[in-house]
Amino acid sequence: MSIRLSNISKKFGPFQALSPLDLDIEEGEMIGLLGPSGSGKTTLLRIIAGLEGADSGQLYFGDRDVTQVHVRERHVGFVFQNYALFRHMTVAENVAFGLQVMPRKQRPTAAEIHKRVSQLLDTVQLGHLEQRYPEQLSGGQKQRIALARALATQPEVLLLDEPFGALDAKVRKELRRWLRSLHDELKFTSVFVTHDQDEALELSDRVVVMSNGHIEQVNTPAALYAQPNSRFVFDFLGNVNVFAAEWQQSHWRNGAAFLVPPAQPQLQQNGAVYVRSHELALSDKPNSQANLPFEIVSITPIGAEVRVELAARGWRSEQLWEAKFTHHQLQAMGLKRGNLVFVTPQTGYFFAEQGDGTATRLNWPFLPPGSIVFDI
Amino acid sequence: MILTNGRLRHKRVLPGFSISLGVSLLFVSLILLLPTTGLIMQTSAMSWSEYWGVIADPRVVASYRVTLLSALAASIFNGLFGLLLAWVLVRYEFPGKRLLDALVDLPFALPTAVAGITLATLYAENGQIGSLLAHLGIKAAYSPLGIVVAMVFTSIPFVVRTVQPVLEELSHDEEEAGMTLGASDRAVFWRIILPSLWPALLVGTALSFTRSLGEFGAVIFIAGNMPYISEITSLMIFVKLQEFDFAGASAIASVVLLTSLLLLLLINLWQARYLRRIRGR
C-alpha cells in the first residue's frame, strides 16, 4: 500500500517536532528515515502508525484518508525499539495476540490461529521457542518474535522504530539482510527509523534524511551519496573533512593553506570545501593547486582499512581531518606518526557562503586553461 | 575475583556481609521472633482442650466471622479503589496531584484511634455522612459496615503504594503494541496491563487484608462492639487481657497470627512463581 503524507506537522508544547512536510512512499518500497536524535523521525513514524496525531495535514494509505483513523483500525505492523513483547505471554501467545483480539466475526478459529502462528515462527526461524517466555530469549530472537507478531495480522504497512538499535554488530547485520529478504518476499511497504547511516544506506530503497523536524533530502542511497544537497546531509552521511575557505587573490585561503578552484565565477567567493576521507591523497610536498599541510596524529587500523588522523599545521580547522587507506596503500606511502604531509583532494564539494545551499562538485587535479600543474 | 592458593575468592566491594546479616538477624529476632515466641509460650501453658475451648468459644468464633468478612470486603474494595487511585496518580497530570499523593499516606501517619473517633463521628446517625446514609436507610457507624469503613481507611495505602511503582515502571510500549495489533481498550487493559499488575495488586490487597485482620484502634470506636454482631477478634484479645487472662488472649492472637502468616506465605509463593516467569529466571 502506498503512503502519502501531505503538510504533516507536529508540536509538543512549544517544541516544533515536525515542520509541515510532504512525503510519498510507493507501494512495496522500503524507506529509511535517517537523522540524529531529536530530528523528528520517530515522531513521523508514530504519526504514520497513528500512535501520535498530527497537528495539521493529511495522511493517505493508498487512496484512503486515514488522518482521523485510530491506530487499531489502521492495520499497520509496528515493531518497537525495545521489542515491547508481552512478558507474561509465551512466544506463541505473543504472536497469536493480534489474531485473538480480532472482532469475533473475522477471527480465525483456534486451530487456524495455531497453524498461522507456527508458520510465522517458522518464517522467523524460531519455531522451537514457541513455549518460551520473552525474558528467556536473546535480543535478536526477541526482535524476530516482535516482527512475527507484527506480521501476524498480515498488515500491508510495516513500521519499525530503530529495529536493530539494541543489538550487537554481528546480529544486526544478519537481521538486516534477513529483514530485507523478508520484505522482498512478502512485498509489504516498510518504513524504518534509524540513526545509523550504514543501516539506512544498506537497507532502504530510498532514504529520507531528517533534521530538526525537516526533511533534508529524499533519494536513493547511491544518489544521496553522490549528490548530497546540503551540508547537513553531507555531514550526516559519513565522515567528512571541512576546509573553511576565504577567497583571496584567486585562491581559497585559510592561514598558510590554500586550494585553487577551477576558474568558474560562482566558485570565486568564501565558503567551505567538504572532502570525504577516502577521496584525498597524501604526499610529502604541496602542489600549485593544493597546499594543505598536516601533521599525522595517529594511524589506526580498523578492519580492512587504516584511518590516518591529521592535524592542520599553519591554518585552522575545527576538527582533525581523517583519511582512509588500505593497508597496502599505506605501506607503499611509508607514513609514520609525526610526519608532515600535504593533502590533495581528489573530489571535493564546495558550499558557497552566498548561494542556494547546494554543493558544487569539484575534482582535482584539474587543468585551468593555459596553465601547467607543477609541484612547488 | 582473586585467585589464591588455587581457590577462587570473591572480593567484595562493600565489606561486612557477616556483620550486616548478623545485626539484621539479631533485630529480626528481638523485634519479630521473640514476641512471637512469647505468644506461643503463653499458650503452651494451656492444654489442647483449654486452647480449643478458648478459640472455639461461640462469641470468639462470631468475631472471626465478622473480622474475616469485614477484612475481605475492605481489602476487595481497596484492591479496586487502590488500583484506580494508583492509576490516576501515575497516568494523569492534574493540579493537586502531589497533595493527593501525600494524602494517601495519611492513614499511616494518623493515630488509628484518632481515625476511629473521626470516622465514628462522621458516620454516626447525626454525623455529616451518617445522616445522609440514614436517609437511605443505611446504618454505617456501630454496625459491621462501620468496621469495613474503618478497615478501608487504615489499609488503603498498602494497595496504592505497592501498585504505584509497578505501574510507573510499566512501559507504554506494550499498550501501544497491543493497540497496533488491533486490541480494544478493554483487551489492552485485561490482557496486557492487568497481568503485569497482578502480582503487585495481589500482594497489596493481601497486605491490606492482613492489616485489617489485626486492626484495633480505628475499628473499636466505630464498630459498636455488639457481641456476635460487630465484635472483632482484636477486641476479644483486648477483653481477655483486661481480665488478666493472658493465656486466653495469646490463644486467640495465635489464630490471627497463623491466618495472616499462612496467607502471606501463599501469596509470596504464588508471586515468586509468576515473577520468575515474567523475569525469565
d(CA A229, CA A311): 28
What band does A1 get if pLDDT is binned at 50, 70 and 90?
confident
pLDDT at residue B6 is higher than 60: no
Q: What 8-state DSSP symbol labels residue A24? A: E
User: From the CA of A207, how many Å to the nearest CA of chain B?
Assistant: 24
Instruction: Please report residues of B whose CB lies closer than 8 A to that of A80.
Output: 173, 176-177
d(CA A22, CA A54): 13
d(CA A158, CA A151): 8
pLDDT at residue A376 is higher than 60: no
Taking alpha carbons only, the member of B233, B241, B196 closest to residue B71 is: B233
| Predicted complex ipTM | 0.78
Of the listed ranges A15-29, A147-161, A332-346, the least confidently predicted one is: A332-346
When pLDDT is averaged across residues B46-55 and rounded to a whole number, the result is 84
Strands of the A15-25 sheet, one edge to the other = A15-25, A3-12, A56-61, A64-65
d(CA B158, CA A272): 65
pLDDT at residue B134 is higher than 60: yes
Taking alpha carbons only, the member of B85, B120, B121, B119 closest to residue B105 is: B85
Do A239-363 and A3-228 fall under one CATH topology? Answer: no
Q: For the stretch B170-209, what's the b/e string if a residue is b when 16 or more beta carbons lie within 10 angstroms of its beta carbon?
A: beebbbbbbbbbbbeeebbeebbbeebbbbbbbbbbbbbb
pLDDT at residue B281 is higher than 60: no
Q: Could you tell me whether strands A15-25 and A189-194 are parallel, antiparallel, or unpaired per DSSP bridges?
A: unpaired
Q: Is A292 on the interface with B (CB under 8 A)?
A: no
Taking alpha carbons only, the member of A302, A298, A287 closest to residue A344 is: A287
d(CA B280, CA B276): 6
pTM metric for this prediction? 0.78
Contact A234, A228 (CB under 8 A): yes
Q: Which CATH architecture has domain A239-363?
A: Beta Barrel (2.40)
d(CA B120, CA B112): 12
Q: What per-residue confidence (pLDDT) applies to B80?
A: 94
Taking alpha carbons only, the member of B228, B221, B226, B238 closest to residue B150 is: B221
pLDDT at residue B72 is higher than 90: yes
Taking alpha carbons only, the member of A1, A16, A98, A95 closest to residue A48 is: A1
When pLDDT is averaged across residues A305-312 and rounded to a whole number, the result is 90
The pLDDT tens digits of the residues spanning B252-272 come to 888 888 888 898 899 888 888
Instruction: Please report residues of A whose CB lies closer than 8 A to that of B183.
Output: 72, 97-98, 101
Yes or no, beta carbons of A101 and B191 under 8 Å apart: yes
pLDDT at residue A85 is higher than 80: yes
Q: What per-residue confidence (pLDDT) applies to B74?
A: 93
**How many Cβ atoms are within 10 Å of B38's Cβ, its own excluded?**
11
Contact A250, A325 (CB under 8 A): no
Contact A158, A150 (CB under 8 A): yes
Contact A185, A153 (CB under 8 A): no
Strands of the A305-312 sheet, one edge to the other = A280-283, A340-345, A293-302, A305-312, A321-326
pLDDT at residue A368 is higher than 60: no
3-state SS, residue A119: helix
Q: What per-residue confidence (pLDDT) applies to B8?
A: 55
β-partners of residue A287 are A375
Q: Which three cell numbers stand for residue A355?
A: 548561494
What band does A44 get if pLDDT is binned at 50, 70 and 90?
very high
How do the domains of chain A map onto residue ranges? 3-228, 239-363
Amino acid present at A355: G
d(CA A330, CA B29): 74
Q: What per-residue confidence (pLDDT) applies to A372?
A: 53
Q: What 8-state DSSP symbol labels residue A240? A: E
pLDDT at residue B1 is higher than 50: no
The pLDDT tens digits of the residues spanning B215-238 come to 888 888 887 777 887 888 888 888
Residue of B172, B176, B181 to mutate, interface with A, max A Cβ within 10 Å: B181
Contacts of A247 (CB under 8 A, 6+ apart): A253, A268, A269, A270, A271
d(CA A323, CA A138): 37
What band does B87 get if pLDDT is binned at 50, 70 and 90?
very high
The pLDDT tens digits of the residues spanning B90-121 come to 988 889 899 999 999 888 888 888 888 888 88
- Domain A3-228 indexed as CATH 3.40.50.300: yes
What band does A333 get if pLDDT is binned at 50, 70 and 90?
confident
Q: What per-residue confidence (pLDDT) applies to A367?
A: 55
User: From the CA of A138, how many Å to the nearest CA of chain B?
Assistant: 11
Instruction: List residues of B whose CB lies inside 8 A of any A CB.
Output: 171, 173-174, 176-184, 187, 191-192, 195-196, 274, 277-281
The pLDDT tens digits of the residues spanning A137-186 come to 888 899 889 999 998 888 889 999 988 877 888 888 888 888 888 888 88
Instruction: Please report residues of A whose CB lies closer than 8 A to that of B171.
Output: 82, 84
- DSSP per-residue string spanning A287-343: BSSEE-EEEEEEEEEETTEEEEEEEESSS--SS-EEEEEEHHHHHHHT--TT-EEEE
Q: What per-residue confidence (pLDDT) applies to B75?
A: 93
pLDDT at residue A362 is higher than 70: yes
In chain A, the residue whose alpha carbon lies closest to the alpha carbon of B195 is A88
pLDDT at residue A228 is higher than 90: no
Q: What 8-state DSSP symbol labels residue A195? A: S
Instruction: Please report residues of A whose CB lies closer than 8 A to that of B277.
Output: 88, 133
Contact B63, B233 (CB under 8 A): yes
d(CA A43, CA A33): 11
What band does A327 get if pLDDT is binned at 50, 70 and 90?
confident
What band does B15 get if pLDDT is binned at 50, 70 and 90?
low
